[in-house]
A = this chain, B = another copy of it.
Amino acid sequence: MATLVMKFGGTSVADPERIRRAARRVAESRADGHRVAVVVSAMGNTTDQLIALAAQVSRAPGRRELDALMSTGEAVSAALTAMALEDQGLPARSLNAFQAGMRTDAGHGRAKLQAIDSKMLERLLDEGVTPVITGFQGFSPEGLLTTLGRGGSDTTAVAVAAALRVQERGGCCEIYTDVDGVHTADPRLVPEAPKLGAITYDEMLELAAMGAGVMHARAVVFGQRHNVPIHVRHSQRPEPGTMIQRETSRMESIAVIGCALKSDLGRVQLQGLPRAAGVQAQVFSAISARGILVDDIIQTEGPAGVELAFTVEHGELPEVKMAVTEAIERLGSGRIDLEVGLAKVSAVGTGMRSHAGVATRMFQALGAAGIPIRNITTSEIRISCLVPQEHGELSLRLVHEAFGLERGERVTLAEQLGTA
């Protein structure tokens, strides 16, 4: 008998029929003898509807009241899910943030979970009652409802799993969603990309950051920190999905586990910046003050001074241009060049740490097809190449093929590195 957390996202509880199906999934796990806590998101597009209402009563709704408003979405789905469970003969109890003891800081709209007072959860589980917890929300030290921001419900689920020590108790955190797990590449772009049985937290984080949208990074980081195995699986299909977990020895025998494509990127190049301390801070603080995420920063020094290059999402370019232009004016020198229409293809794998030759094979695959590489960045377990957007999808397929990823976890290191 394991202790499980089962989390159902917005699409998995989008209507009464799906809520009943989710309840049947929970009933199956209970019938297998497991102790189960459930976490739910708001139904389908409820959150959008609530935001639309808010916009109609206020020109600039405050974050605090928006949180109070948003939190009702999960309260509705939690109550309905509890009813559907009881209808299956399973005692159940919906719990809002106060009742589930979800303490956060006071950061309305992007609150951070600080502690879960799991006494009530443990008591209900001991009594054979299935708690159904509102995802995405908590309460502040002041006693106000807060929301956790993007990826919040996944984070709630992983945090509840950590509080219930599911790993010690033979369980995991199951994330039920509308995909069947993590594939070696996005199957919409690479149809032959197989589903992976397991992947490390680090690999999932790199893939997520590089454009694979299966799970929000925040929940994965939380899982990694508390060693909570996260099972991502399809809410309408019975077969297992992908387990996100700590590295196992088997995983080292593969260099590249997956690849990803991020499209619609723009590159910003700054030339001729003054050679002075604090130049970078001035440029990037102007950008981050506008809430824009930057990655792949490269700095070099040329004859005309410091050169900086970085990529941002295409849609952010106008704001970035404004921010950087202001920074250049303050700095007294510099010139800005923008390039649009780029995509980034990345290969990710924990096994890369201990094996050379991965980068070479990737460059060869792209080079042989005549695809120009505009930029290269790496992390310990990732290699990314910036390519023209029109070659993006082809690049992804070439990298997928180069590392034999159509064989999934059965590919060998020798095959991947071309030494077979």
Measured CB to CB, the residues of A under 8 A from B are: 16-17, 19-20, 23, 50, 53-54, 56-62, 64-66, 68-69, 71-72, 75-76, 78-84, 86-87, 92-94, 96, 98-99, 143-145
Q: A60-B87, A75-B72, A87-B60 are in contact. Are A65 and B53 (CB under 8 A)?
A: no
Bound-state CA distance A84–B64 (Å) is: 13
- Would you give the shortest CB distance from A159 to chain B, in whole angstroms? 21
Contact indicator B76/A61 (Cβ below 8 Å): no
- In the complex, are the beta carbons of A57 and B75 less than 8 A apart? no
Protomer copies: 2
Taking A62-B86, A65-B86, A75-B68 as contacts, is the C-beta distance between A80 and B57 under 8 angstroms?
Answer: yes
A204 to B17, CA, bound (A): 46
What's the minimum C-beta distance from A117 to chain B, rounded to whole angstroms? 12
| Alpha-carbon distance A56/B23, docked complex (angstroms) | 13
Alpha-carbon gap, A294 to B211, bound state (A): 68
**Shortest distance between the CB of A119 and any CB in chain B (Å):** 12
A78 touching B68 in the complex, CB below 8 Å, given contacts A57-B16, A99-B143: yes
Q: List 29 A-B contacts (CB under 8 A).
A: A16-B53, A16-B56, A17-B56, A53-B76, A54-B80, A57-B83, A57-B84, A58-B86, A58-B87, A61-B83, A61-B86, A61-B87, A64-B93, A65-B79, A65-B82, A65-B83, A65-B86, A68-B79, A68-B82, A68-B96, A69-B75, A69-B79, A69-B80, A69-B83, A72-B72, A72-B75, A96-B145, A98-B98, A99-B144
Q: When the two chains form their complex, are residues A76 and B65 in contact, meaning their CB atoms are under 8 A apart? A: no
Is the beta-carbon distance between A83 and B62 smaller than 8 angstroms?
Answer: yes
User: Knowing A75-B75, A99-B143, A143-B99 touch, does A54 contact B69 (C-beta < 8 A)?
Assistant: no
Give chain B nearest CB distance to A17 CB in angstroms: 8
